[in-house]
Amino acid sequence: MRHLFTRLAASLVTLFVVVAIAFFLMHLAPGGPFESERGIDPATLAQLKKLYGLDLPLPQQFAHYLLGLLHGDLGPSLRWRDFTVAELFSRALPVSLTLGTEALIVALAGGVALGLLAAVRRNGFAARAVDLFALSAIAVPNFVIAPLLQLVFGLGLRALPVGGWNDGAWPNHILPVATLALPQMAVIARLLAASLKDVLASPSVRTLRAFGLPQPLIYAHAVRGAFLPVLSYLGPLAANLLTGSVVVETVFGIPGIGRYFVTAALGRDYTLVLGTVIVVAALVIFFNLIVDLLYGVIDPRVRHG
C-alpha cells in the first residue's frame, strides 16, 4: 500500500515537471499564435494577447494555467477560438482511445498467439516466420505501412475505405488499427518467443519435467513466467501506440488528438499543445503504473523486494 502511494506521488511529480517543461518551451519558441494570421494590425494583436492573458509575465501565466487545471479547465483553444481545449478533446480523445485500445488488443492477442506458436514448434517454420515478421516490423515503419495498406485494400481491392472516420463506422477502423497493431504484434511475438524459449530451458522447468508433471501444467507455469518481459513492454507499447496515432490519423484522416497536436504545434496554439502533452503524459504514466501493479501480481519477487 505504501508502495502504491509512493508511486502515485512520484507520478504526479513527473506529470508536473513534464507540463512545466512543455509550457516554458512553448512560450519560449519564437512566434506566437496570432503572428501567422494575415494582415493583422498591431492594435488588434495587442488586444488579442490581452484577451488571452498572453501579455502577463510567464510565471504568472503558468500559475493561472495550473489553477485552471485543478478545476479541470484546460483553457480555450487559441486557433479554433470557438472551442475550449476540453471541448475539442471530448470529441477527439474518444476517437484516439478507441483506435488505441483496439490496436492494443489486436497486438497483444496476435503477438501472444504467434509467440506461443513459434516457441512451441521450436525450429519450425513458425519460428523463422516470426523472426522475419519482426524484422519487417522494424524495417517497414508505420508511415510506410499506412499508404501501402491504402493502396492494396482501399484502391486495389476496393474492400475497405481509404480513409476518413465516418463517425466511427467499423470498416473505417480496420486499416488504421492494422497499421498501428502490426509492428507491435511482431515485437510482442518475438519477445514472447525468446522469453518462453529461455524459461523452457530453465532449471525450474527442468524440475517440473523431472517429476513427470503433465505437459499442460508445465506450459501453464512456463508461460506465466515468460509473460513478464511482455508485460514490461506494455509501457513502451502504449507510448508507441500514441506516437503511431499521429501518423495514422494524418494518413487516414482521422479526427483524433494526434492530428490536432501537429497542427496545433505548428500554429503555436499553446493551450491545445499543452493540453495534448498533459493528456498524453498522464496516459503514459497511468499505464505504466498499472503495468507495475500487474507485475507485482504475477511476480512475488517484486512484491517483497
Partner 1 sequence: MDSFVETAPPGFAQRLFRQKGALGSLLCLALLALAGLFGPLAYPHAYDRVYRDFVLTPPSLDAHPTAAETQAALADFVQEMNVAVMQAGQSADGVLLQIISPKQFDPRVLRYFSRADIFEPARILIRSADGHAVTVHVPIHRLVFPFGTDANGRDLLARIFIALRISLAVGILATLVALSLGVAVGGVAGFVGGRTDLALMRLVEILYALPFIFFVILLTVFIGRNFVLIFVAIGVVEWLDMARIVRGETLAVKARDYVAAAEALGAGPGAIFFRHILPNMLAPIAAFLTLLVPRVILAESFVSFLGLGVQEPLTSLGLLIADGARTIQSAPYLLIFPACVLAFTLGALNILGDAFTRATEGRSQ
Partner 2 sequence: MSAPLLSVRDLRIAFGAQEAVRGLNFDVAKGETIALIGESGSGKSLAALSILGLLPEGAKAQGAINFDGAELLHAAPSVLDALRGRRIAMIFQEPTAALDPLFPVGQQIVDVLHFRAELSRADAKARSLELIEQVGIDSPARRWRAYPHELSGGQNQRIAIAMAIACHPDVLIADEPTTALDGTVAARILDLLTELKTRLNMAMIFISHDLTLVGRFADRIYVMRRGEMVETGPSQQILTAPKEAYTRELIAALPPPRVDRTSSDQPVLLEAQQITVAFLLRGGLFEKKQEIKAVDDVSLTLRQGRTLGLVGESGSGKSTLGRALLKLVPASGLISFEGRNLSPLTRAEMRPLRRMMQLVFQNPYGALSPRMSVGEIVTEGLRIHAPELSAHERGQRAIEALHEVGLDAKTRFRYPAEFSGGQRQRIAIARALILKPNLLVFDEPTSALDRAIAVDLLELLLKLQAAHDLTYVFISHDLAVVRAMADEIAVMKAGKIMDYGPADDVIARPKDAFTKALVEAATLSPPSASAEYPHTRRS
Nearer to partner 2, 200 or 241 (CB): 200
Rule CB under 8 A: is residue 261 a binding residue for partner 1? yes
**Extended beta strands in 31-177, E state:** none
Task: Please state, in angstroms and rounded to a whole number, the distance separating the CA atoms of residues 7 and 288.
Answer: 10
CB of 10 to partner 1, least distance (A): 8
HSE-up (13 A, CA, CB side) for residue 217: 9
* Strand partners of residue 84: 76
Total site size for partner 2, rule CB under 8 A:
27
Task: Please state, in angstroms and rounded to a whole number, the distance separating the CA atoms of residues 93 and 256.
Answer: 6
Range in contact with partner 1 (rule: CB under 8 A) among 82-90, 96-104, 195-203, 268-276: 268-276
Rule CB under 8 A: is residue 216 a binding residue for partner 2? no
CB of 211 to partner 2, least distance (A): 4
Instruction: Report the site for partner 1 in 98-157 (rule: CB under 8 A).
Output: 135-136, 138-141, 143-144, 146-148, 150-151, 155
What is the per-residue binding string for partner 2 in 177-206, x denoting contact by CB under 8 A? ------------------------xxxx-x
User: Any residues with CB less than 8 A from the CB of 65 and at least 6 apart, and which?
Assistant: 23, 75, 274
Task: Please state, in angstroms and rounded to a whole number, the distance separating the CA atoms of residues 151 and 147.
Answer: 6
> Using CB distances below 5 to 8 A depending on partner kind, what does residue 18 bind out of partner 1, partner 2, none?
partner 1
Which one among 138, 207, 290, 293 touches partner 2, defined by CB under 8 A?
207
Task: Please state, in angstroms and rounded to a whole number, the distance separating the CA atoms of residues 8 and 10.
Answer: 5
Which one among 6, 36, 44, 101 touches partner 2, defined by CB under 8 A?
6
CB of 215 to partner 1, least distance (A): 31
Rule CB under 8 A: is residue 189 a binding residue for partner 1? no
Could you tell me which of 276, 272, 202, 188 has the C-alpha nearest to residue 234?
A: 188
Could you tell me which of 182, 38, 10 has the C-alpha nearest to residue 103?
A: 182
Range in contact with partner 2 (rule: CB under 8 A) among 2-10, 15-23, 143-151, 165-173: 2-10
Task: Please state, in angstroms and rounded to a whole number, the distance separating the CA atoms of residues 303 and 255.
Answer: 42
User: Any residues with CB less than 8 A from the CB of 197 and at least 6 apart, and which?
Assistant: 119, 122
| SS3 of residue 96 by DSSP | helix
Nearer to partner 1, 205 or 285 (CB): 285
Rule CB under 8 A: is residue 85 a binding residue for partner 1? no
> Using CB distances below 5 to 8 A depending on partner kind, what does residue 204 bind out of partner 1, partner 2, none?
partner 2
| SS3 of residue 139 by DSSP | helix
Task: Please state, in angstroms and rounded to a whole number, the distance separating the CA atoms of residues 14 and 20.
Answer: 10
CB of 197 to partner 1, least distance (A): 15
Binding interface with partner 2 (CB under 8 A): 2-3, 5-6, 9, 201-204, 206-214, 217, 221, 224-225, 298-301, 304
